[in-house]
Amino acid sequence: MPRARPIANRTPDTPSWSHLRLKDRIKPAPRVLFVGINPGVRSAVTGHHFAGYSNRFWKLLWDSRLVPEPITFEHDDRLPDFGFGITNLVPRPSPGIDDLSPAEYVEGWRALDRKIRRHRPQIVALVGVTLYRAIEPLINADADRLRQRRQSRPIPLGPQPITIHGAEVFVLPNPSGRNANFSYDEMLAAFRWLRRRINARQPRRVRAGGASA
């Protein structure tokens, strides 16, 4: 089983997993680039995305028919085969997002911006409303003026009124089992909505005689 990549400069007081880094699973021009906030501890230890015991990301992919067969976190390297990519805003793993610093969000956004510009996904799917709240001020040129107004504004799931290097931005619910804001049915509805957005972007085939497929 592959492990996350370690980085140097560990200290005796540092958890053994804290310097591990997940590998991005991205090929050029994916249909969707899934973006998480940062890896959890189990993801760091296993070397796979969304590996938490209660995380329902992989079940939602199958139940929504975004993938043609059931897969688990151990198969995250197969996502590019289905036209998807996966990465995180902040590479450092942690037990929760409260451990992340504002500077990590800023640096993470800069790296994500470069990845989107380089790989050119059709849709950037932000996994979690919290993630969208964190980076919206960094994306928007009028961030200083809009920040306070937008922080209190409810963020709807689905397509957002911004793009990143031409990619549509789509907000999904956080599939963690600790997310009590959405039921599984609501999460599934959002993932199915994403599937419809993908299908709407695909060119329609033309049959002989000019009829659309």
Range of the domain at 142: 16-199
Q: What is the CATH number of the domain that holds 175?
A: 3.40.470.10
| Arithmetic mean of pLDDT over the chain | 86
**Quick one: what percent of the chain has pLDDT higher than 70?**
82
Of the two residues 136 and 119, the one the predictor is more confident about is 119
Q: Has residue 71 been placed in a domain? A: yes
Of the two residues 39 and 205, the one the predictor is more confident about is 39
Q: Has residue 212 been placed in a domain? A: no
Over residues 84-98, the pLDDT tens digits come to: 999 999 999 988 888
Over residues 3-59, the pLDDT tens digits come to: 555 554 555 566 787 788 899 999 999 999 999 999 999 999 999 999 999 999 999
Q: Has residue 204 been placed in a domain? A: no
Q: Total domain count for the chain?
A: 1
Q: Has residue 99 been placed in a domain? A: yes
Over residues 132-165, the pLDDT tens digits come to: 998 888 886 544 544 554 455 788 999 999 999 9
Q: Has residue 7 been placed in a domain? A: no
Q: Which residues contact 143 (CB under 8 A, 6 or more apart)?
A: 136, 137
Instruction: Decide: helix, strand or coil at residue 6.
Output: strand
Q: Has residue 10 been placed in a domain? A: no
DSSP state of 33: E
Q: Has residue 9 been placed in a domain? A: no
Q: Which residues contact 7 (CB under 8 A, 6 or more apart)?
A: 19, 20, 21
123-127, strands of its sheet edge to edge: 84-88, 32-36, 123-127, 167-172, 158-164
Q: Has residue 80 been placed in a domain? A: yes
Of the two residues 171 and 137, the one the predictor is more confident about is 171
